[in-house]
Amino acid sequence: MSELWSPLVSRLTPYVPGEQPKIADLIKLNTNESPYGPSPRAIAAIREATGDDLRLYPDPEATALRDAIARRVGLTAAHVFVGNGSDEVLAHAFQAFFDHGDPVLFADVTYSFYPVYCGLYGLPFELIPLDEAMRVRVEDYTRPCSGVIVANPNAPTGIALPLSAIETLLAAHPSRVVLVDEAYVDFGAESAVSLISRYPNLLVVQTLSKSRALAGLRVGFALGDPALIEALVRVKDSFNSYPLDRLAQVGAQAAIEDENWFSESVARVMATREQLSGGLRELGFEVLPSSANFVYARHPDRDAAHLAAALRERAIIVRHLKGPRTAPWLRVTVGADEQCATLLDSLRGILLSNS
Ligand code: PMP
């Protein structure tokens, strides 16, 4: 802290990212990356773009990429906004839509970047508790607000809402943006994209970091009514008019167009998720029904922090979040089959050695 800092920065509590370890040979099941590589077509496109053209600025409108995304979901490029990871897209959306004086509503528990953006942009917010089963109850989101943000599936629980619940939120707040963060939607939840033509207040945000295995490229996008996209472009152009570098634009476009690679790797992750959930239940864990590429599990009589530390000693990292509702739980990314088998063996050993 320094007296040179503005009061706002002094008050900020920044997001604490999941560990990105500096040593290799760890089984890394802590930040929901894909165990499979990105589309080979994406890698080839990036290689090809790594030449003299890098001296030129990229397309500030990322037209080819936005066209490819629009084609895939049956919308037009005017419905698509792209940014450096969905984190950046979310940041622009908070600034573009949530400054109406009332609180922004989101769940306690959900993605912990949302309160950070509220702090950064001076936006009040209200946390709406999950129910006993750790589910979002949309009936609780009726108070006057500046907007609603819901992660679907939610993180870190992995539980998905049906589209009828998203429609309840949209209908309850027709003059506010309802932002649906679909970072994990491809692993079995229903996307709200099909509602965009009927709800001008709906903004859907997705990422290439999870189901397209491109977390390192940093590409996310928003889909919504062209008037919402125009607002995001205004914010972006006031911040950095080049949303994505040349390599990210071509790599993301190739990844979006490689439907086979995408659907095969998603299907593999979903199959492994069911095995992992079953294996954890056999070891006595309660496992929430996951529609994501991670599972959320707790043991009735073992301390989660202790389990995470014991796994770490065995070179496996999972995510353990402190906090009143999250402390008993472990969030485990669905890795490759062998990684999940090693995790289950290690947990079995830890549980036996402590009993
Ligand atoms: N939303 C949710 C719910 C997430 O868990 C994440 C990943 N941490 C993101 C958005 C951001 O992902 P990215 O910036 O890699 O697109």
Domain-located, residue 2: no
Domain boundary among 258, 276, 307: 258
To test the ligand 1 pocket, which listed residue (32, 106, 111) has its Cβ within 8 A of the most ligand atoms? 111
pLDDT band of 16, cuts 50, 70, 90: confident
Distance, CA 181 to ligand 1 centroid (Å)? 8
pLDDT the model gives residue 67: 98
- 350: nearest Cα among 288, 305, 296: 305
pLDDT exceeds cutoff 90 at 17: no
To test the ligand 1 pocket, which listed residue (32, 34, 181, 206) has its Cβ within 8 A of the most ligand atoms? 181
Which amino acid would we find at residue 198? R
Distance, CA 33 to ligand 1 centroid (Å)? 10
pLDDT the model gives residue 132: 95
pLDDT the model gives residue 354: 61
pLDDT the model gives residue 35: 97
Distance, CA 86 to ligand 1 centroid (Å)? 6
User: How far is Cα 69 from Cα 80, in angstroms, rounded to an integer?
Assistant: 7
Task: Please list the alpha-helical segments (H only) found in 60-134.
Answer: 63-73, 85-97, 113-121
- Average pLDDT on 50-60 reads 95
Each residue of 120-131: pLDDT tens digit? Answer: 999 999 999 999
Domain-located, residue 3: no
User: How far is Cα 293 from Cα 280, in angstroms, rounded to an integer?
Assistant: 15
Dihedrals phi, psi of 287, to nearest 5 degrees: -125, 125
The HSE-up count of residue 269 (CA atoms within 13 Å, CB side) is 32
Mean pLDDT of the chain: 96
Domain range for residue 276? 8-37+260-354
CATH number at residue 338: 3.90.1150.10
Whether 208 and 83 share a structural domain? yes
CATH number at residue 201: 3.40.640.10
Task: Please list the alpha-helical segments (H only) found in 105-225.
Answer: 113-121, 163-172
Whether 46 and 190 share a structural domain? yes
Check: CB of residue 293 under 8 Å from CB of residue 34.
yes
Domain boundary among 258, 276, 308: 258
Residue 210 alpha carbon, nearest atom of ligand 1: 15
- 109: nearest Cα among 347, 316, 284, 288: 288
The order of strands in the sheet holding 104-108 is 80-83, 220-224, 202-207, 178-181, 147-151, 104-108, 125-129
User: How far is Cα 158 from Cα 319, in angstroms, rounded to an integer?
Assistant: 14
Residue 111 alpha carbon, nearest atom of ligand 1: 3
Domain boundary among 236, 258, 280: 258
Whether 233 and 152 share a structural domain? yes
Whether 110 and 156 share a structural domain? yes
DSSP-assigned letters across all residues of 246-265: HHHHHHHHHHHH-HHHHHHH
Each residue of 202-231: pLDDT tens digit? Answer: 999 999 999 999 999 999 999 999 999 999
The HSE-up count of residue 234 (CA atoms within 13 Å, CB side) is 11
Asked whether the bond before 174 is cis by omega within 30 degrees of 0, the reply is no
Residue written as tokens 């560990």? 19
Distance, CA 205 to ligand 1 centroid (Å)? 10
Residue 209 alpha carbon, nearest atom of ligand 1: 15
Nearest CA to ligand 1 atom 1: 183
Nearest CA to ligand 1 atom 7: 183
Whether 114 and 244 share a structural domain? yes
Residue 17 alpha carbon, nearest atom of ligand 1: 8
pTM for the whole structure: 0.97
Dihedrals phi, psi of 339, to nearest 5 degrees: -65, -40
To test the ligand 1 pocket, which listed residue (106, 207, 210, 212) has its Cβ within 8 A of the most ligand atoms? 207
Check: CB of residue 269 under 8 Å from CB of residue 59.
no
Whether 82 and 49 share a structural domain? yes
| Pocket residues: Cβ below 6 A from ligand 1 | 85-87, 111, 151, 155, 181, 183, 207, 209, 215, 220
Domain count, the chain: 2
Whether 226 and 275 share a structural domain? no
* ipTM value: 0.99
Nearest CA to ligand 1 atom 2: 183
Distance, CA 282 to ligand 1 centroid (Å)? 30
Whether 297 and 237 share a structural domain? no
Strands (E), the chain: 27-29, 80-83, 104-108, 125-129, 147-151, 178-181, 202-207, 220-224, 286-287, 294-298, 316-318, 330-333
Distance, CA 158 to ligand 1 centroid (Å)? 13
Whether 45 and 112 share a structural domain? yes
Task: Give the bridge partners for 297, in sequence order.
Answer: 287, 330
Q: Which sign does the torsion angle of CA 71, 75, 78, 83 carry?
A: negative
Check: CB of residue 202 under 8 Å from CB of residue 174.
no
To test the ligand 1 pocket, which listed residue (32, 86, 203) has its Cβ within 8 A of the most ligand atoms? 86
Each residue of 320-345: pLDDT tens digit? Answer: 999 899 999 999 999 999 999 999 99
Domain-located, residue 1: no
The order of strands in the sheet holding 330-333 is 286-287, 294-298, 330-333
Whether 271 and 319 share a structural domain? yes
Domain-located, residue 80: yes
User: How far is Cα 81 from Cα 85, in angstroms, rounded to an integer?
Assistant: 11
